[in-house]
Chain A
Amino acid sequence: MKARFPQRFSAWGLVRHGLTGDDWPKVWRSPELRRSYDVVIIGAGVHGLATAYYLAARHGITNVAVVDRGYVGGGGSGRNTAILRSNYLTPEGVAFYDRSLQLYRNLSSELNFNVMFSRRGHLTLAHNDSSLRTMRWRAEVNKVAGIDSEVIGPDEIKRLVPMMDTSDRTRYPILGALYHPPGGIIRHDAVVWGYARAADSFGVHIHQNTEVTGIDVDVSGGTTGRVRGVQTARGPISAPVVVNCTAGWASLISAMAGVGLPIITHPLQAAVTEPVKMFLDPVVVSGTLHVYVSQTDRGELVFGASVDPFASYSMRSSLEFLEELAGHVLQLMPSLATMRVLRQWAGLCDMTPDYSPIIGVTPVEGFLVDVGWGTYGFKAGPAAGEAVASLIGTGRVPELVAGFDLARFDDGRLVGEKGAAAVGH
């Protein structure tokens, strides 16, 4: 089904509005909160909104509410570093993230909203022979799946990133890199707004500032029960299907339904510098140095690192994050010492033991989870939304996410992304 926008975006529309000075139509409405929906999705980030959009667009399910305690995209979707790639380590990871990348590539026209996907190429540096071996492993798994991914040497790295110190005199010499040309960055807010606008056009209700305070589970029929709806700060909503898309807060929401999760919430920090003229095209990642960096189209360098060392729901930033980050960036590109950090922030990550998500059913019937996204949730949004929508629409778990079920932790079937995803943004 095609979205029915009050007004489509186009260059011509831009010109017309420029000439008339008219306001644009509302990007999404502020509907009344109904007492009942077919599906309630908790969390208005990229996962929740993509789920809502694909439910409506692909399955014709439009009596859907997306509820969020804050504003659209105010959680991890608005705090991540917006890096896209599909060069994972395991075949199931590669297939899943490649589907997401495919959806991202066509998202602007699908949503009639320019999400500014910027194909930059993605470099994961190897500073020792063991990480070089892992890069080869990833490259070979990727190539079997048809993903453009190859190990390159220091000369090629220098050609792609002239500022990089590829000499062998450094503490962490650059021995090579996994190069993934399709990788890139995107405007994360635009993705969220695009999904929200498109979902809204189908009649999906987006309720901001509507905190979920409880989940109603009917336990009369069985031991673990069936979901009946949610309690919110604005009143109860009944629904036969409730989806938890709350990332860092996933444990708390699931606990409301009595579902325990193998998740630990860790803050993940990021920082941005003042803008300078473009000099860095690819996204550069170093697992050994716990750093990733890209330059936005605005000219800012966006930095991230690994998650904070201890679990916390605090989104306060830390100085040690910046210090370590700066030290490591300068190991890679020593001439950047005069660049200045303008702003730092933190988000919350729902880390799982195997660095892979948890998608699908729970012991509580009708209560679904799309959680455990750790530090790699944004790039997965479209494919995860598509999969959850398909699960709701068809009642069947899509093959693509079958390995990411919650029961794997009870059965001891962990996914092998541990090696690559630990710091592999």
Chain B
Amino acid sequence: MILVPCPHCGPRNASEFRYLGEERARPDPVAATPPEWRQYLYRRTNPAGWTTETWHHSSGCRAFLTVERHTVTNEIRSCTVAGAHT
């Protein structure tokens, strides 16, 4: 089981977390065309390599985390609190 290095709690079993998938921006709900909106709803890059995604430490500190993870090796190279930069 991979360890997710939670910035609050330290390395924890992935089973403590909920996976929310690739980070993606919600288009402007007024301006978005149907294809743009559905791109946001359904299309994913699904890369074999590094990707930036959101995890939720649901059985821990309940922080939402921005995680850079390699989807082939599952290695995690960064893990920060999501939205903290705003």
Contact with A along B44-76 (1 / 0, CB 8 A): 111110000100000000000000000111100
- Residues of the A chain whose Cβ atoms lie less than 8 Å from the Cβ of B53: 311
Interface presence of A18 (CB below 8 A): no
Tell me which of B1, B14, B18, B35 contacts A410 (CB under 8 A).
Answer: B35
Is the beta-carbon distance between A409 and B71 smaller than 8 angstroms?
no
Chain B residues, Cβ within 8 Å of A316: 74
In the complex, what's the smallest C-beta–C-beta distance from B15 to chain A, in angstroms?
A: 6
Q: Which of B21, B22, B74 has the most CB of A within 10 A?
A: B74
Q: Using a Cβ–Cβ cut-off of 8 Å, how many residues does chain B contribute to the interface with A?
A: 24
Determine the interface band of chain A, counting residues with CB < 8 A from chain B.
20 to 34
In Å, the complex CA distance between A265 and B44 comes to: 10
**Contacts A320-B1, A410-B35 hold; do A311 and B71 have CB atoms under 8 A apart?**
yes
- The answer to whether B38 and A409 touch across the interface, beta carbons within 8 angstroms, is yes
Q: Which of A263, A313, A411 has the most CB of B within 10 A?
A: A313
Give the nearest-CB partner of A254 in chain B. Answer: B46
The distance in angstroms between the C-alpha atoms of A341 and B21, with both chains bound, is 31
Give the residues from 1 to 42 in chain B that come closer than 8 angstroms, CB to CB, to chain A.
Answer: 1, 14-15, 18-19, 21-22, 34-35, 38-39, 41-42
Is A412 in contact with B34, judged by CB distance below 8 angstroms? yes
A354 to chain B, nearest CB (A): 9
Residues of A within 8 A of B22 (CB): 311
Question: Chain A at the B interface: mostly helix, strand, loop or mixed?
Answer: loop
Residues 259-279 of A contacting B (Cβ, < 8 Å): 260-265
A263 touches B44 (CB 8 A): yes
What per-residue 1/0 map shows which CB atoms of A328-372 lie under 8 Å from chain B? 000000000000000000000000010000000000000000000
Q: Of B21, B43, B45, B72, which one neighbours A313 at CB under 8 angstroms?
A: B72
| CB-based contact A320/B71 at 8 Å | no
A320 contacts B15, C-beta separation under 8 Å: yes
Query: Is A264 within 8 A of B43, CB to CB?
Result: no
Query: A313 contacts which chain B residues (CB < 8 A)?
Result: 48, 71-72
CB distance from B9 to the nearest CB of A (A): 18
Closest to B37 in A: A412
Residues of B within 8 A of A311 (CB): 19, 21-22, 46, 53, 71
CB-CB nearest in chain A for B36:
A410
CA distance A313 to B51 in the complex (A): 12
Given contacts A310-B19, A320-B1, A412-B34, whether A265 and B46 have CB atoms under 8 Å apart is yes
Whether B1 and A353, one on each chain, are in contact in the complex, defined by CB atoms closer than 8 angstroms, is: no
B46 near A264 with CB under 8 A, answer yes
Q: Do the beta carbons of B72 and A314 come within 8 Å of each other?
A: yes
- Cα of A314 to Cα of B76 in the assembled complex, Å: 13
Cβ contact within 8 Å between B44 and A262: yes
CA distance A318 to B45 in the complex (A): 25
Q: How far is the CA of A410 from the CA of B22 in the complex (A)?
A: 19
Task: Flag whether A309 is at the interface (Cβ < 8 A).
Answer: yes
* Binary B-proximity of A242-272 (CB < 8 A = 1, otherwise 0): 0000000101100000001111110000000
Write out the residue numbers on chain B whose beta carbons fall within 8 Å of the beta carbon of A411.
34
Q: Closest CB of chain A to B64's CB: distance in Å?
A: 15
Do A260 and B43 have beta carbons less than 8 Å apart? yes
Q: A318-B1, A319-B1, A412-B34 are in contact. List 20 more A-B contacts (CB 8 A).
A: A251-B47, A252-B46, A252-B47, A252-B48, A260-B39, A261-B43, A262-B42, A262-B44, A265-B46, A265-B71, A312-B71, A320-B1, A320-B15, A409-B38, A409-B42, A409-B43, A410-B34, A410-B35, A410-B38, A412-B38
